[in-house]
Amino acid sequence: MTCPVCNDSAEIFDSMQTDRRRGLQGKWKYNTCKNCGLIFISPLPCLDDLGGYYSNYSKSSIINFSLGRGARFPILRKAFHFISGDVDPRDFIGATKGMRVLDYGFGGAGYLCDFHARGVRISGAEIAGYLVDACNSSGLDVHRVDDLDRIPFEDSEFDIVYLMQVFEHLRDPIGFMRELNRILKPAGKVYIALPNNKSVWRKVFGKNWVSGWFAPFHLYQFDRETLARVARQQGFEPTSCWTRTPESWFRLNLKAFIYPEENRLDWRPSWIDMRLVRFMIMLTLRIFELLVRERDCLVMKLEKKRR
């Protein structure tokens, strides 16, 4: 497989991974590009294989369209996320009333409902038909993704596009970045959040770093340099970048370490999920990570270059 970032064919074996989170059977090989350092599944699963994987991705089709406490009390939400490490686009995307915004691969309706209630002209894009139908029936503007090589919107339509834990799932990150450039207005902005393959926790947890090693759903593992390189190739300039470790991600990795035979970790309740334990993890993480630059979740803001 040729590296999609630098087109170099020199790759080395990184690791063999299994699905510890959704219970899929099989093993998947990850290689590292010798030239740019991108980590990727090799060979890349075909579309039919991916369709089979995602058929068991979710256990619930229930969508909550009500505005939660995070929407009603944004100052308290931001304060809590400062402690918990949660990466919430409402905390750092300055979308104001009337702005045109796209949530690509939204999964649930929480962010959509909040931005919509604030007067933001937000749309969503999703591959799951039941999500699209439910959201449109509730008055949200959501489009079905039928072609993974094309974002289903017109040229120069959006001021802002954000992707929360989506980019690492895409088969063609270069082509998708090109599509983001197409649908954005001049000087439009993109926010991408994804696992950071240079995270200190990848080194600590190894094969149990399941927040990143989510085989076979995470096709690529990016870091600051590889993501910025993809962006610049397609007409973007990174303007800011930071990393955080959500407590929920650390807790998932900790479960993988404690329960080495468990392969449905996303759905396994544990004593680690108790509120007091979670709070202790939050505080420990925030203190420890004062000394750490490379945390689990990488967030990068990109701006479309003016021609």
In tens digits, the chain (307 residues) has pLDDT values of: 788 888 888 889 889 999 999 999 999 999 999 989 999 999 999 988 988 888 777 766 678 888 888 888 999 999 999 999 999 999 999 999 999 999 999 888 889 999 999 999 999 999 888 889 999 999 999 999 988 888 999 999 999 999 999 999 999 999 999 999 999 999 999 999 999 999 999 999 999 999 999 999 999 999 999 999 999 999 999 999 999 999 999 999 999 999 999 999 999 999 999 999 999 999 999 999 999 999 999 999 999 987 7
Which two three-digit tokens encode residue 136?
Answer: 């449109």
100-104 vs 236-244, strand pairing mode: unpaired
pTM to 2 decimals?
0.94
**CA separation for the pair 171, 169 (Å, rounded):** 7
Q: What is residue 11's predicted lDDT score, i.e. its pLDDT?
A: 84
Q: Checking DSSP bridges between strand 236-244 and strand 220-221, what pairing results, if any? A: unpaired
Instruction: With CA atoms as reference, report the closest residue to 237 among 291, 190, 304.
Output: 304
The pLDDT of residue 33: 92
pLDDT at 110: 87
**3-state DSSP call for residue 20?**
coil
pLDDT at 140: 93
Q: Would you state the pLDDT for residue 60?
A: 64
Check: CB of residue 296 under 8 Å from CB of residue 250. yes
Greatest Cα pair distance, the chain, in angstroms, is: 55
Q: What pLDDT is stored for residue 147 in this prediction?
A: 85
The confidence score (pLDDT) of residue 59 equals 64
Domain positions in the chain are 62-304
Residues 6+ apart with CB under 8 A from 198: 223, 224, 294
| Domain 62-304, CATH | 3.40.50.150
Burial of 127 (0-12, 13-18, 19+ CB in 10 A): middle
CA-derived radius of gyration, the chain: 19
